[in-house]
Structure 1
Amino acid sequence: MGKMDYLKNMPVAVLGAGAVGKTIAADATLAGQEVRLYDAMPFAEKSLANLEKTGIELDGIQRNLYNFKRSGLAKIDVITTDIAEAVKGAGHIVIAIPAFGHEPLFKSLIPVLEDGQVINIFTDNFGTLLLRKMMRETGCTTKVIVGGWSSAPYGTRIESVGGFMLPHVGVKYRAITLRGATLPMTDADDFIEASKYLSCMDAVTYGDGAVKGDTVLDIGFSNINPVIHVPATLLGVSTMENWGKIFGDFDKSGYSMYAHALCPSICEVQYQFYNEEIKLAEGIGVDLPRYSYESFFSRRSVLAQEYMGLDKDGKDNMILPLDQPTTEANTGPNSIHHRYCTEDVPVGCKVYHELGVQYGISTPIIDSMIVLAGAMLKKNYFEEGYSLEYLGIKDMDKETLLDYLNNGNYPALLLS
C-alpha cells in the first residue's frame, strides 16, 4: 500500500446532490464506504427530499470496456445540509456541482477543512485554481490536497417523472480512465494514488487507470465538454428546437445531441476547436490528451475513448458511424438554456479565449462559439463568465504561471 492508505477507512464527503453527486454517493456506499451526502439550501429541499427513507437506487447499462458494474439500493450514512457535519473527519471530499456553484460552496467549505483531506473536483472546470485563490485570500493554510479531474466517473442521469425527482440514478457509462492534476503539482502523485481509495473511481482503478495530467491547465483542456457540447448544441440548434414539432410526433425528452445533431460539418468544427486547444496548450507549455481526426467523426465523438478505450492499433474500440442511427448516446439538451451552453461557454470557452489573448494565441473557432452563444442567449460572454483575474492568473507571464501551477509559488507582485 502507498502512503495514502490512511484514506481507506475514512468517510467520504460528497458535496452536491445532483446526478453526479447522487451517483457517487450511491456507488461509494454500495462499495462499503461511509458516505455523507451534502447539498445546500434551497436546492436541498428537492435534491435531498426523503432520501433518509428511500435511499438511492443505482442501476443502468454502465457501458465500459471491462464490464465493471455496481448496482443496488444505497442507504446513505449521513444526509445533511450542514457542510461541517459532512466534512468533519472525512478523508476524501468530492465536489460534484456545476462550475457556477463552486464559489459559494468553497466559501462554506474553506473554514471547515482539516489537514490531510483530499479534495476531488468532478469536473474540475478550473475549480482548483479558484479554490486555491480563495484559500489564499482568506489566509487558509490547512494542509489539504486540491485536485481536479477531466470528467466525472460516469455519464449518469436522475430519473424524473412529471417534474418529480425520483431517488434513482441510471448510469449510461463508466469511465475506465480519467486525467487528474493538483495545484500545486507537487501533490499530484499522492492525488493519483489517493484515487484508489475512492470507490467511485473503481472502474478507472481496475480499468486503464488514472492518468497524471500536466498541471491543472491540462485538466482544463482535457475537459471534452466544451469541444463536444458547444459546437453540437449551437450548430444543431434547429434540430433540437424543432424536435417533436416539425420533426414528427417525437417525445422532446428523447432528443440527443449525439444521435440527432452530429454530422460531418459539425464534427469538422469540433476538430478545429480541438486544434485551437492544442495551440493554446503548446503555446503555454502544458500537455493535453491527443485524439485522431477520425475519432471526432463518430456519434460518440472522442467521449467513447473515456469508457471504451482504444485497440492495439490506437483506434477507437467503439465506432458509431455518422450515417447510421444509434441508441447508444445520452439524451439532451432540450433547450439552449442548458449547461452545454450556459456553463461550457462562459467557463470553458471564455477561459480558452482569455488564455489566447494573454499569451498571443488566436482562437477564431472558439471565439465564434462565444459570439453565437451570446447571440442566442442574449449575453455578452466576452464580458460575462470566468476571467483569468477571477482565477488568479491574470498578467502572469508563462514562466511565472508554470512555476505557480507546478510548485505553488504565487508571485508577490500579484498578492499586493
Structure 2
Amino acid sequence: MKRDLSYLATCPIAVLGAGAVGKTLAADCKLAGREVRLYSRSKKSIALVERTGILMDGIQRNLYGFERSGRAYLDIVTNNMAEAVKGAKLILMSVPALAHEDYLKKLVPLLEDGMIIHTFPDNYASLLLRKFMRESGCTKDVIIGGWGSAPYGTRIEKIQGFWTNHVGIKYRAISLRGACLPMSDMDDFIESGKYLPCMDSVYTGNGPERGDTMLDIGFSNVNPVIHVPASLLGVSSMENWSLVYGNAPDSYSMYSHGLCPSICRVQYQFYQEEVSIAKAIGIDYPRYSYDMFFSRRSILTQEYMGLDENGKDNVIFPLDKPCDEGNTGPNNINHRYITEDIPVGCKIYHDLGVKFGVPTPIIDSMIVLGGAMHEKSFFSETKYNLDYIGIGHMNKEQIHNYLYKGNYNEKSN
C-alpha cells in the first residue's frame, strides 16, 4: 500500500557528511527554503560554517538550465549525529564509502519510524545499513535507498591548501538511477525524492530512472569504470603534470588531460564485464554504447546534457580537441578515484564475477595495477566482499528474494 508522504514537505532534512557533495546538498536544500541540519564527524570539515554559511555557485551546466545559487545559513551544524537527525525524516548521506560503516552504525540507534534515507552515491551503503539494523535488532519502519551518482559534479574551493566553505557546481544531473532495499518500497522511495530540493534538477528534468535492486545501483555508479582506468593508465600524465610540465598540481584533470582512445577502449571492456555480471545475476543495468566512451566526459555527459532522439549524446567533447569541461583530479595515487573505487567498486564486481562464474580480466587487472602502485593487494587488504555487504552466503534465488522482497536468509552455522 502506498504511504502518505505529505509529512516530508515540512520535515527537517539531515545531511550526513560535509565534503563537497554534502555541503552542496545542504546548501541547495536550505536555499530552497527547507530546515537543514549538517553533521560531520570531522570538526575541520564544518569549521566556521555557522558563521560564514555555505556559498554555492558555479557553472551548473545542464540541458534545461536549472540553477540555484546563494549563501546558505544552515539551521544546525554539528558533530553530534543525534542532534542532526532527531525528527528529520529525510536523511541524506554523502561520505566516502570507506566511512559508511562508521556513519551507519552511529545512525542505526537514532533511526525513527518514517525516516527515508538517500545515499549519494550508494556504493552498497543500503545493503550495509540493513545489515547493521539486523545485527542490532533494529526494526524501525524506514525506507532505505540510494543513487548511482550525486546530483552534481561539485568541488570545494581550496586556497593554498585551505578548504573554504565555498562550493562550485560544475554540472547538475537531469537524470539519476536509484533503487531501494527492498524493492517493494520503490514507489515510495522515488516519490520521496520529489521532496528533496537537491533533486529538483532531476525531477524537473528527465526524471529519476528506476534501477533494478541495489546491485543494479552498484553497476550504475560510473566512478569505477571511468575513474579507475583513466587514473591508473594515465598516471604518468598526473605525476608529471607539475614536476615535468610545470603546471599547478591542482589543475590536473583526468578527463581533460588523461583520457585517450586506448584508455577509452579499456573503459568500454570494463563496462562489458559489468554487463556480463548483471546478466548472470539476472538484474538490469544501465545501457551505454561503445561510442559514448570516446568523449572527454566519457559516459557522464548524458547525466546532465541528455540524449537525442536517436539515443546518442546531445553533447560530445572530442578526444582530439582540448577541453576543460571535466572536474579536476586526481592529484596523486592516494585520491579516492583509486583508494575508494578499487577496493570498493572494483572489488565487489570481482567478487560477484567469481560467485556467478563471470571472468573479469579487465577489472581484475585494475585491482592488480592499483595495488602494485600502492605496494599492497586490494584483493585482500579491503573489508569489502560479499559477506561484508551481507549476501555472500546466499544463492541467486535467495539474493533475489532479499533484494526484491526483503526476505533475508540467515547464514547457517
**Residue matched to 2:149:** 151
**Residue matched to 2:72:** 74
- 1:332-377 C-alpha deviation (Å, 9 max, x unpaired): 1010111000000000000000001111111000000000000001
Whole-Å Cα distance in 2 between the matches of residues 313 and 388 of structure 1?
38
Whole-Å Cα distance in 2 between the matches of residues 162 and 245 of structure 1?
18
Whole-Å Cα distance in 2 between the matches of residues 336 and 381 of structure 1?
14
- 1:70-124 C-alpha deviation (Å, 9 max, x unpaired): 0001010111111111111112100110101110111111001100000001110
The answer on 1:276 being equivalent to 2:260 is: no
Contact 1:177 1:210 in 2 (8 A): yes
**Residue matched to 1:352:** 349
Offset at 1:415?
6.1
Whole-Å Cα distance in 2 between the matches of residues 327 and 231 of structure 1?
20
Offset at 1:244?
1.7
**Residue matched to 1:301:** 298
Contact 1:196 1:202 in 2 (8 A): yes
Whole-Å Cα distance in 1 between the matches of residues 15 and 280 of structure 2?
36
Whole-Å Cα distance in 2 between the matches of residues 338 and 328 of structure 1?
20
The letter of the residue matching 2:98 is F
The letter of the residue matching 2:157 is E
**Residue matched to 2:11:** 10
Question: Alignment partner for residue 244 of structure 1, among 242, 251, 258?
Answer: 242
Question: Alignment partner for residue 89 of structure 2, among 88, 91, 106?
Answer: 91
The answer on 1:29 being equivalent to 2:26 is: no
Whole-Å Cα distance in 1 between the matches of residues 6 and 86 of structure 2?
19
Contact 1:175 1:204 in 2 (8 A): yes
The answer on 1:117 being equivalent to 2:115 is: yes
Offset at 1:395?
2.6
Whole-Å Cα distance in 1 between the matches of residues 224 and 49 of structure 2?
33
The answer on 1:369 being equivalent to 2:370 is: no
Whole-Å Cα distance in 2 between the matches of residues 48 and 261 of structure 1?
32
**Residue matched to 1:310:** 307
Contact 1:36 1:76 in 2 (8 A): yes
**Residue matched to 2:380:** 383
SS of the residue corresponding to residue 243 of structure 2 reads: coil
SS of the residue corresponding to residue 369 of structure 2 reads: helix
- 1:223-282 C-alpha deviation (Å, 9 max, x unpaired): 0000000000000000000002222x2111111100001000000000000000000000
Whole-Å Cα distance in 2 between the matches of residues 103 and 409 of structure 1?
22
The letter of the residue matching 2:55 is E
Question: Alignment partner for residue 136 of structure 2, among 135, 138, 161?
Answer: 138
- 1:116-162 C-alpha deviation (Å, 9 max, x unpaired): 00000111001111111111011000110010100011000001112
Alignment of 1:191-340 (within 5 A): 191-247=189-245, 249-340=246-337
Contact 1:2 1:193 in 2 (8 A): no
Whole-Å Cα distance in 2 between the matches of residues 396 and 381 of structure 1?
24
Whole-Å Cα distance in 1 between the matches of residues 393 and 87 of structure 2?
38
**Residue matched to 1:397:** 395
- 1:301-324 C-alpha deviation (Å, 9 max, x unpaired): 000011001011111011011000
Whole-Å Cα distance in 2 between the matches of residues 364 and 358 of structure 1?
15
Contact 1:224 1:303 in 2 (8 A): yes
How many pairs are equivalent? 411
The letter of the residue matching 2:147 is W
The letter of the residue matching 1:384 is E
**Residue matched to 1:410:** 408
SS of the residue corresponding to residue 368 of structure 2 reads: helix
Question: Alignment partner for residue 188 of structure 1, among 161, 181, 186?
Answer: 186
Whole-Å Cα distance in 2 between the matches of residues 127 and 112 of structure 1?
17
Whole-Å Cα distance in 2 between the matches of residues 379 and 26 of structure 1?
39
Contact 1:189 1:212 in 2 (8 A): no
Contact 1:239 1:260 in 2 (8 A): yes
Structure 1, unpaired ranges of 5+: none
Let me know the Cα RMSD of the aligned residues.
1.1
**Residue matched to 1:169:** 167
Whole-Å Cα distance in 2 between the matches of residues 355 and 313 of structure 1?
33
The letter of the residue matching 1:250 is N
SS of the residue corresponding to residue 283 of structure 1 reads: helix
Whole-Å Cα distance in 1 between the matches of residues 406 and 202 of structure 2?
28
Offset at 1:48?
1.0
The answer on 1:19 being equivalent to 2:20 is: yes
Contact 1:5 1:194 in 2 (8 A): no
Offset at 1:51?
1.0
Whole-Å Cα distance in 2 between the matches of residues 381 and 51 of structure 1?
36
- TM normalised by structure 1 equals 0.97
- 1:176-232 C-alpha deviation (Å, 9 max, x unpaired): 100111111011110000000011000001000111100000000000000000000
The letter of the residue matching 1:10 is C
**Residue matched to 2:60:** 62
Whole-Å Cα distance in 2 between the matches of residues 141 and 83 of structure 1?
20
Whole-Å Cα distance in 2 between the matches of residues 369 and 141 of structure 1?
40
